[in-house]
Amino acid sequence: MSGPGYLFLGDEEKALVNRALDTWQLNRYRFDEAAEPSMVYTLEREFEQRTGTPHCLAVNSCTSALLTALVALGVGPGDEVIVPGYTFIASIAAIVHRGAVPVLAEIDESLTLDPEDVKRRITPATKAIVAVHMLGAPAAMDELRRIADDHGLFLIEDAAQATGGQYRNRALGTIGDAGAFSLNLFKIITSGDGGLLTIADDKAYERAFAFHDHGFKPLRQGIADADSLFGMNLRMHELSGAVALGQLRKIDDILGTLRKQKTALVEAIGDLPGVTRRRVNDPDGECFSFLVLQFESVESARAVAGLLGTSTLIDSGRHYYGNMPQLLARRTPTASDHPFACSAHPTDRRYEPNMLPRTDDILGRSIAVSVGVDDAYIGSGFGIKPFSPADEIATVAGAVRSAVNEVAATK
């Protein structure tokens, strides 16, 4: 079980790690002015160059990147943050740990936020929208950016599963006010664990840096003002930075390989009765890491999933709000029982099973076939790999066709 980046690990990453080990440079900072720039520093600058973002900050996880983004943008207790009901639990956890209130919204057939439902959920307490680029494909960023601007809201991109993706020729993570990326084992590029934060505003970047490193100014060029926020230690380790840097330098090869493999798989499967493919908001901008099939009914999807030895997306672990007991167990707005409320910032938000009927229906009818992310927990335990040969692709495609036809014949 792994993501595409893991399968591309090789001599390039080893060489960068060994360079750090040869000089025992294990921390991102260089206190010797003669020393070469750190791997983490170089990673940040090269990611800025690639994406066009003014600022990149390397941290120890995408969860930390999301939390840091919320802090940097001033999201805090009592603020409402709109987030899709289909996302990894970390997107919601970061909001909760800021004392803010997650407001769950519906997805559409792209498996990302439905802009129309977002508009319906905006209140005077709304401070931000979190757009999650699920399964490697972009949310409808033009509409979401317009909604955020019209209502004076921050827009944060959770691009954990979509590093290297684009939306209409703009890098994901640079369309919103901040973007968060994951480097864990199941992602497009990996350093084992780690995350990247992109952020546009200079002042917000200073706050982000201070929060991720004990209140210091960027690159520790002095201590932040006395009235600045208390910082934490969310820094990326130098060896993680070395692996991530090696991966970033081969991301075009990774994405190109995934595109080729997904194209071959789609062509081998062909048209299927009663099945459509997930709508992708920018077909050229996705990461090509999944092929999502959507069925006419929940029953058909579950039957096909069973024949393939996989599951529908509604059963994909803590990526579906209905599988998050931390969320659903808190139903009374008291300080002792509800993590999104306290006496100073009460809320009457409730989180119930089946509270997002459209999301439930879409996920119940959808199956994700892996093109590079082999992860049963996210619902992609069946499929191909980045280096699957043509005969393996044909076998997987044949299994999909056979399962769909078998289920169709029983109707």
User: Catalytic residue positions?
Assistant: 187
* Residues forming beta bridges with residue 383, ordered by sequence position: 370
Burial 287-314 (b: 16+ CB within 10 A, else e): bbbbbbbbbeebebbbbbbebbebbbbb
CA-to-CA distance for 262 and 264, rounded, in angstroms? 5
Phi and psi (nearest 5°) for 342?
Answer: -150, 175
Collapsing DSSP to helix, strand or coil, 184 comes out as: strand
240, 356, 141: which is closest to 130 by C-alpha? 141
CA-to-CA distance for 223 and 94, rounded, in angstroms? 26
Q: What angle do CA 128, 129, 131 make, to 5 degrees?
A: 150
Residue 405 near residue 340 (C-beta atoms within 8 A): no
Residue 160 near residue 289 (C-beta atoms within 8 A): no
CA-to-CA distance for 235 and 215, rounded, in angstroms? 12
Residues in contact with 108: Cβ distance below 8 Å, sequence separation at least 6, in sequence order: 114, 279, 358, 362
The DSSP bridge pattern shows strands 170-171 and 178-182 to be unpaired
Radius of gyration of the chain (CA): 21
- CB count in 10 Å sphere of residue 354: 9
Residue 154: enclosing H or E segment and its boundaries?
Answer: strand 154-158
DSSP character string of 271-317 = --TTEEEPP-S-TTTS---EEEEEESSHHHHHHHHHHHT---GGGSG
Cβ burial, residue 396 (10 Å; 0-12/13-18/19+): buried
